[in-house]
Structures are given as C-alpha cells and as structure tokens.
Amino acid sequence: MIELDKNISRYSSSDFIFLSFPKSGRTWIRYFIAKYIELEFQEEFTLEIEEINNIPRIIFSHNYFDTKQDIEEEPEIILQNLLKQKEIFIVVRDPRDVAVSYYHQKVNREERLKEMDINEFVFSPIYGIERQAKFVLKLLDLRKEHTGSKLVVYENLLRQPETYFYRMINGIFKEVNSTNFYKALNESTFEKMKEYELMISKQGVGDFSRIGKKHWNGDNNSLKVRKGKLNSYLSELTPETVEKLNKLPFTSQLIYELENIRY
C-alpha cells in the first residue's frame, strides 16, 4: 500500500495519472504501455513505468484505495486539487466483474478472508460492491469537473483494443509509431500476458507485486491475469446474488451511468 505523502510526491511529479478502483483493468493497460515503451524507446521491459527516465512520467494509482482497502470507511477522492492540475485517465469496468475479480485478489492472491464465500464477499461493508461503486461514482464526478481527464472503459478495450489503445498512446506521446504499436498490441493479448505470468510464477523470479505469484501453487485464481472476459460474474455468482446486486443503490446507479456514458 502507498502512503499519502508518497502519493503527493508521485502525483506532483507526474505527467499522466491513471486512476481506478482495484481490478478494473490497469494491469493490462500498464503491460501494454510497458511493451510500447520497450519497443519505441529501446528500454528494458518493466512494469515499473514511472521509474523510466526520458519519457513522460506515467503513474498508476488507486487513490484512496492505495491506503485504505482494508478499512471500513466512506471512500473519497483524495488530492483532488492536485489531480485537477494533471492529465488523468479514469479507468472503469462493470462493477460486478470487478467485485468477482477483487474477491480472487483478496482471497486467493493476498490470501486473506479464506473462509469467506464469494456471495458473501460482494456484500461486505469493507470489500463489497457498494463501497466500490461509491468510489467509482466519485471518479466519474471528477471526470465531469476536470477537462483534462479521459475515460477508459475496460469493456471498450476488450471489444476494440486497437481503437482505444491507439487513442491512449497518442494522448500520452502525441504521436504513434504504427509498427511498434501493433507489435505491442500483439504482445499484450491476454494469452501472451498469461504466458508471461505463468513463466515468472513457475520460475519464482520477478517482481510479484505487479504480476505473477511467488510460491505459486497452481491456482489460476491467484494470478493477476485470470480471464479477461465480459460478464464473468454470471458464472461465479448465484442468480440470487446477481439480482440483489443489481438492486443496490450505488451499484445500480453506477451500472446505469456506465451503460449511458458519452465519450
């Protein structure tokens, strides 16, 4: 977890900030950008993008949830005045798919809450979908207030990766090397990312804070790259749970807003 003072420093020195709730797709985005940087700037491949010199400084942040994922507290957007001085990308995803992926992050990857059933987890006052939805709705409000913000919708990336990754790279670097763009796109498919994560997990070598699992026991649900599919919540939650989620006030509002967003 990243402390507030460190985020002040990171935000202040950044050129671009990607904001999201955990499990909204930032690993895929980070991986793709890292591949493009590797090819375009002849840099060694690394997911620690913000440590690379001589390129725009790009950081990824969960903002409030960088420090308070495991605390029952009303979420808020921190450092808003600082954020409004920066170019930001707000990354969003269907909250039901996020909730399922977040369950596997907490239970299988971080190995917390081992006794909690997924249909119980999604209603948790700390980890559940309503707390997530409150935060993401505030991110969407920030987008409305900040003209220097762009919206990245995970589902759009899945459906049209070429279109939306191109816009992203052009927004950051102001031009796109088409050859390196398509190479990076090809090397950032879920199959290629999964292959890379399995390799470093089996070898036990790498920075496992970003991708891979140290001492991996073969459980795919403990990995960062799991499925990358739309509506996977339908196969992991009971119909009764899905029905209840769809009626929750903040969750239903977020689903509605995401379905009616104008770009």
Average pLDDT, integer, range 45-69: 92
Domain ranges of the chain: 4-259
Specify which of 105-109, 181-185, 198-202 reaches the highest per-range mean pLDDT.
181-185
CB-based contacts of 114: which residues, under 8 Å, 6+ apart? 107
Class of domain 4-259: alpha beta
What is the pLDDT confidence band of residue 33, given thresholds at 50, 70 and 90? very high
Average pLDDT, integer, range 36-46: 94
Q: Which of 78-92, 160-174, 186-200 has the lowest mean pLDDT?
A: 186-200
The pLDDT value recorded for residue 207 is 58
Proportion of the chain above pLDDT 90, given as a percent: 68
Whole-prediction pTM value?
A: 0.89
Specify which of 1-15, 129-143, 144-158 reaches the highest per-range mean pLDDT.
129-143
CB-based contacts of 13: which residues, under 8 Å, 6+ apart? 57
Q: Is pLDDT of 204 > 80?
A: no
Average pLDDT, integer, range 201-225: 59
The pLDDT value recorded for residue 260 is 87
What is the pLDDT confidence band of residue 77, given thresholds at 50, 70 and 90? very high
Contact 245, 108 (CB under 8 A): no
Proportion of the chain above pLDDT 70, given as a percent: 86
Give how far Cα 221 sits from Cα of 24, 56, 179, 215, 224, Å.
16, 34, 34, 14, 8
Closest CA to 209 of 78, 26, 14: 26
Q: Is pLDDT of 209 > 70?
A: no
Q: Is 84 exposed, middle or buried (0-12, 13-18, 19+ CB in 10 A)?
A: middle
Q: Which of 2-6, 38-42, 167-171 has the lowest mean pLDDT?
A: 2-6
What is the pLDDT confidence band of residue 114, given thresholds at 50, 70 and 90? confident
| 3 state SS of 190 | helix
Average pLDDT, integer, range 235-242: 96
The pLDDT value recorded for residue 148 is 82
